[in-house]
Amino acid sequence: MQLTTKLAVAAGIALLAAGCSSQQQASVENSVSNAASEVANSAEKVGTEIETKTKPMMHEAARAMDNSEVTLRVKTAFQASAQLDASGIQVSTSNGVTTLSGTVPDAKQHKLADTIAKNTVGAGSKVIDKLSVHAIAPTPKPSG
């Protein structure tokens, strides 16, 4: 009696068939092939599920980075201006909308801060100006 062996491998699944008839070997190969297809389908489903669940998180992270970048650009532009006293100005950006809050010493500074912010964020973005003018009173000279 002659002993035949057959090795079937599909998608990392290996099956050794020894001493089987051709019909049994074909059945084994079919079983391995079906199992490999199930593994491949399951892996594809898991990949799709991971992509579906992580895509919104990736977009949110990108949006947060964009907001932080806009805020940083506006603050940097404020600091680069020799005419603007930005020490009382807070800048925040959320969902692409930049908000200026705090105080400036006069109307000229108010307009300058608003103009710098709008030029920095660009025409397609919005700047909300919540700045208030709070003139700093001059320090009285000591009498003497």
36 assigned to some structural domain: yes
What mean pLDDT is predicted for residues 34-55?
Answer: 81
15 assigned to some structural domain: yes
Q: What does the pLDDT read at residue 19?
A: 64
Q: Is the pLDDT of residue 136 over 90?
A: no
Contacts of 70 (CB under 8 A, 6+ apart): 93, 96, 98, 120, 121, 125
139 assigned to some structural domain: no
Q: Is the pLDDT of residue 11 over 60?
A: no
Domain that holds residue 95: 59-133
Q: pLDDT category, 59, cuts 50, 70, 90?
A: confident
Q: How many domains does the chain have?
A: 2
Q: Is the pLDDT of residue 3 over 60?
A: no
